[in-house]
Amino acid sequence: MVKFFRILPGSSFPQRADNSAGGTLPVRAYRYCEAVRTASAFGWYVFPPADFNLAWDGVETIWKFGYEEEWTVLDSVQYPDYMRTFNRLCPPDLADAVPPLLSAGAEPGMVQIWSGLFCRTDPGWSVLVRAPANLPRSNNYEHYEGIIETDKWFGPLFVNIRLSKTDIPITFDMGYPLMQIQPLQQSTYSEKVFDSVDIADGIEDFTPSDWENYRQTITKPGLGFEREKGFYAKMIRRQKSSA
């Protein structure tokens, strides 16, 4: 359903997202909160294709690779020594047409980062590009989320970030996920779905079926200190195992 193309030689292959959020979830959340586990494991981690650093002074963004000493004002940066390889293998009319690894956005502090990957999906499927779910995040930048209709658009898989701290180096490590890629059916974000909403205004609108569902969810596991731990997690796991 989803095919990833690794273009840059330093890129890691996408890695299935982990239901423990890389071992960072509290033990109680991992054991008892199936909602958090499911969200954490939804999709694939994508990593930076190189170690690099960014810094922002409020106006200009500067950058350097992890092994370099000198900082340079960021405009558009190619992956090191890759252009020659690309030109040797690509059709002649596509010579030099390599997406940049890093590029500065028009807005101050905005940076586009290419993962070194392309992506293609089956018809009717898109991918959501977002920050890694439930992993600890840096306070130095924010991800912009984006939905790409990769069944129609075959291009670089990138993420846009907005730097939020000034005058400090911000490190991007090849060993730490840069983004999470999640598959979406295009029907799930259609206007038809968003327009198909009903609202019950108060418990007087509850039906007998709603009250029975309430009973099963709220009182059957027990109340207060008597409530069974991880009731939802056990129920969902039993249903999955019997499916």
The kind and range of the H/E element at 4 are strand 2-6
The token pair at 20 is: 């423990």
> What domains can you pick out in the chain, each with its CATH number?
2-193 (2.70.40.10), 201-242 (no CATH)
The alpha carbons of the chain give a radius of gyration, in whole angstroms, of 23
| pLDDT for position 241 | 73
The pLDDT value given to residue 165:
95
Task: Give dist(CA 43, CA 174) in Å, integer.
Answer: 19
What's the pLDDT tens digit per position in 66-94?
Answer: 999 999 999 999 999 999 999 999 999 99
Q: What is the 3-state secondary structure (H, E, C) of 152-204?
A: CCCCEEEEEEEECCCCCCEEECCCCCCEEEEEEEHHHHCHHHHHCCCCCCCHH
For 76, the enclosing helix (H) or strand (E) is strand 76-77
pLDDT for the residue numbered 220: 80
Quote the CA–CA distance of 99 and 110 in Å, as a whole number: 17
- The per-residue pLDDT for 243 is 67
| Confidence at residue 5, expressed as pLDDT on a 0 to 100 scale | 97
pLDDT at 31: 85
- pLDDT tens-place values along the chain, 243 residues long: 999 999 999 899 999 999 999 899 888 888 888 899 999 999 999 999 999 999 999 999 999 999 999 999 999 999 999 999 999 999 999 999 999 999 999 999 999 999 999 999 999 999 999 999 999 999 999 999 999 999 999 999 999 999 999 999 999 999 999 999 999 999 999 999 999 999 999 999 999 999 999 988 888 877 766 666 666 666 667 777 776
